[in-house]
Amino acid sequence: MTPEDVDPVLSEHLHRIAPEIDLAEIDRSADLREECDIDSMDFLTLVTALSERFGIDMPEADYDEMRSYNALAAYIAGKVD
Amino acid sequence: MSEFLMPSLGADMEAGTLVEQLIAAGERVTRGDVIGAVETQKGVIEIEVFETGVLDGWLVDIGEKVPVGTPLAVIRGTGDPDPPEVPEPSPPAPAPPEAPQPTDPPVEPPAPEEVPLTDPTPDPGMPEIPDTPGVEIPPPETRHPRITPAARRFIAEREIDLTKLAIPAGQTITRARLEAMAAGPPEQAATDIRRAIAAAMSRAKREIPHYYLSHTIDLTVADAFVKAANADRPPQSRLLAGAVYARAVARALEKFPEFNGHFTAERFQPSDAVHLGFAINLRGGGLVAPALFDVAAGDLDTLMQALRDLVMRVRAGRFRARELSDATITLSSLGERGVDQLHGIIYPPQVAIVGVGTPRRRPWVREGEITPSLIAELTLAADHRVSDGHRGALFLNQIDTYLQKPEAL
């Protein structure tokens, strides 16, 4: 799977958590939680939804690899065959 | 037989609007059941009954705004005699028994022409509750909008906060309308919540002689504890640091009861249980601090699930009445993207608020060595009518002590 394949699903789940954020406007290489004003509970909700949706393990030890929108999309793409 | 009254959901609330009747006349209710929902400045709040019995009938229609203390429904207790005619619970028409003459045409409120009144996907299982004929309908500017069944399902599915949609009073909310407005600006809710915060915080600053303390703590051990606990867990059962802080505060309160309770009628009433108000930031502006109940009981995982459930519901604009009125102390944790410390304002009638600033890596002296450590500022604002700074300092030190042994929490 490529990051482009992940994009619509990631956008959908982010929109549920941060409906007022225009994802076209955010800096996709910057800190996702700052760009979308997401707190630790929101981020946990996002990770829970994405790991269930893609059927992948997203351990907390890997959170550093999910810091930006692009990094998170690439991380998921790399985990899904 | 007893009357169920419009509850007071905070010192600043004077009136509320009944927006849902979840139980029909004739249905059984058990103490603690959610029987309806009330809209206040703080959002939609689920209301629970305090006794077991049968709902005899609703006294207030959906959409009616009534003062605190107004009877909303009549509950017949299990010991009460049956009324002459017991309504069957099965028919889907929840009209109150005192509703007059079915021959009267239902009074429909005026609705603008461009708003379709028909439900695009009717569901026979969820009938719309009709307006009761003969009941006085408030003028359009004060009426709460009517919500079609399809719109209700859409609201539930999408977890839409109705208070964030600016819908003119007196209009009908349809699914199509909601879909069009779902991305709309959250102006009205922001205004209402700002007003609620202003009322409570003005009272706090006027009436409560606050004193403030700050204590620097090392969260390295607590952080490692959370990371270790989460290492093998799927996301849905992971812990957050906030749950650990909440438990440490609750445990410390066992020795410092003067920070846990309510100050009412010129005296302090300590609480046996710790109902910890957890400050939650709302997207679109404002914050609320609904209660996590009995935070000292159960294990950390139970507490974490309760916290998760609470945050999810609050973000969706759903509270329970007790959550807003029964908190006995507040905890405000700034999280990982905040600032170093906060000087809280007490939420009346509580007498203390504990703050945890954003933890940062800093040099810290441990056993004679300078070690990079995760450091945060723990703060307390407390009511000088009830406690003094000396006890406040001991209280913060006790929280610190518990956070150094998180496995015992």
User: Is pLDDT larger for residue B204 or for residue B167?
Assistant: B204
Q: Is B149 found in the same domain as B214?
A: no
Domain containing residue B122: 2-187
User: Is pLDDT larger for residue B204 or for residue B284?
Assistant: B204
Q: In this structure, are residues B171 and B113 in contact, taking their beta carbons and an 8 Å threshold?
A: no
Domain boundary among B126, B153, B187: B187
Q: Provide CB contacts within 8 A for B268, sequence distance 6+.
A: B258, B261, B262, B351, B383, B385, B386
Percent of chain A whose predicted confidence (pLDDT) is above 70: 100
Q: In this structure, are residues B47 and B21 in contact, taking their beta carbons and an 8 Å threshold?
A: no
Tens digit of each residue's pLDDT (9 = 90 or more) over B301-317: 999 999 999 998 988 88
Cis before residue B349, ω within 30 degrees of 0? yes
Contact B242 A47 (CB under 8 A): no
Please provide the size of chain B in residues: 409
Q: What is the DSSP string of A27-80?
A: -TTSBHHHHTT--HHHHHHHHHHHHHHHT----GGGGGGGSBHHHHHHHHHHH-
Mean of the pLDDT values across residues B76-102?
A: 53
> For residues B154 and B180, what is the distance between their CA atoms, to the nearest angstrom?
12
Residue B32 has a pLDDT of 81
At B352, the amino acid letter reads: A
Contact A39 B230 (CB under 8 A): no
> For residues B396 and B409, what is the distance between their CA atoms, to the nearest angstrom?
16
Whether residue B201 is contained in a domain is answered as no
Q: Is B162 found in the same domain as B70?
A: yes
Q: Is B249 found in the same domain as B157?
A: no
User: Is pLDDT larger for residue B127 or for residue B354?
Assistant: B354
| Of B377, B389, B391, B380, the residue nearest B353 (C-alpha) | B380
Q: Is B236 found in the same domain as B152?
A: no
Whether residue B283 is contained in a domain is answered as yes
Q: Is B216 found in the same domain as B177?
A: no
Tens digit of each residue's pLDDT (9 = 90 or more) over B321-341: 889 889 999 999 999 889 999
Nearest CA in chain B to A16: B158
Nearest CA in chain A to B233: A59
Average pLDDT, chain B: 82
Q: Is B350 found in the same domain as B308?
A: yes
> For residues B179 and B116, what is the distance between their CA atoms, to the nearest angstrom?
14
Cα angle B17, B22, B23 (rounded to 5 degrees) comes to 120
Minimal Cα–Cα distance from B228 to chain A, Å?
10
Minimal Cα–Cα distance from A47 to chain B, Å?
7
In our burial notation (b when 16+ CB lie closer than 10 A, e otherwise), range B140-178 reads: eeebbbbbbbbbbebbeeeebbbbbbebebbbbbbbbbb
> For residues A9 and B291, what is the distance between their CA atoms, to the nearest angstrom?
34
Contact B308 A41 (CB under 8 A): yes
Nearest CA in chain B to A22: B183
Percent of chain B whose predicted confidence (pLDDT) is above 70: 74
Among B residues 290-319, those touching chain A with beta carbons less than 8 Å apart: 307-308, 311-312
For residue B292, pLDDT beyond 50: yes
List residues of A whose CB lies inside 8 A of any B CB.
16, 18-20, 33-34, 37, 39-41, 44-45, 47-48, 51-52, 57-61
Among B residues 136-175, those touching chain A with beta carbons less than 8 Å apart: 159
Q: Is B338 found in the same domain as B239?
A: yes
Which DSSP category does B235 fall into? G
| Of B392, B386, B133, the residue nearest B252 (C-alpha) | B392
CB atoms within 10 A of CB B269: 12
Residue B149 has a pLDDT of 65
- Contacting residues of B for A33, CB less than 8 Å apart: 336-337
Contact A40 B335 (CB under 8 A): yes
In our burial notation (b when 16+ CB lie closer than 10 A, e otherwise), range B59-88 reads: bbbbbbbbeeebebbbbbeeeeeeeeeebe
Whether residue B165 is contained in a domain is answered as yes
Q: Which of A33, A59, A61 sits opposite B337 (nearest CB)?
A: A33
CB atoms within 10 A of CB A15: 15
Torsion over CA of B305, B309, B310 and B315, rounded to 10 degrees? 140
Q: What CATH number does the domain containing B50 carry?
A: 2.40.50.100
Domains contained in chain B, number: 2
Beta bridge partners of B214: B379
For residue B281, pLDDT beyond 80: yes
> For residues B379 and B333, what is the distance between their CA atoms, to the nearest angstrom?
10
Contact B336 A33 (CB under 8 A): yes
Q: Is B214 found in the same domain as B149?
A: no
Whether residue B107 is contained in a domain is answered as yes
Whether residue B203 is contained in a domain is answered as no
For residue B176, pLDDT beyond 90: no
Q: Which residue intervals of B159-274 are DSSP H helices?
A: 175-181, 187-207, 220-230, 241-253
> For residues B406 and B391, what is the distance between their CA atoms, to the nearest angstrom?
23
Q: Is B397 found in the same domain as B250?
A: yes
Binned at pLDDT 50, 70 and 90, residue B41 comes out as confident
Q: Is B237 found in the same domain as B94?
A: no
Whether residue B193 is contained in a domain is answered as no
Q: Does B408 touch chain A (CB under 8 A)?
A: no
Question: B117-126, B183-192, B247-256: which has the minimum mean pLDDT?
Answer: B117-126
Minimal Cα–Cα distance from B401 to chain A, Å?
24
Q: What CATH number does the domain containing B291 carry?
A: 3.30.559.10
Q: Does B178 touch chain A (CB under 8 A)?
A: no
Q: Provide CB contacts within 8 A for B148, sequence distance 6+.
A: B117, B119, B128, B172, B173, B174, B175
| Of B366, B63, B403, B76, the residue nearest B249 (C-alpha) | B403
Q: Is B349 found in the same domain as B294?
A: yes
Contact B241 A40 (CB under 8 A): yes
Size of interface A-B (CB pairs under 8 A): 47
Q: Is B167 found in the same domain as B236?
A: no
* Range A3-79 classified under CATH 1.10.1200.10: yes
Contact A20 B283 (CB under 8 A): yes
Contact A19 B182 (CB under 8 A): yes
Q: In this structure, are residues B306 and B293 in contact, taking their beta carbons and an 8 Å threshold?
A: yes
Q: Which of B183, B238, B337 sits opposite A19 (nearest CB)?
A: B183
In our burial notation (b when 16+ CB lie closer than 10 A, e otherwise), range A48-59 reads: bbbbeebeeebe
- The most distant pair of C-alpha atoms in chain B lies apart, rounded to whole Å, by 88
Contact B284 A58 (CB under 8 A): no
Please determine, for the modelled complex, whether the ipTM score is greater than 0.95. no
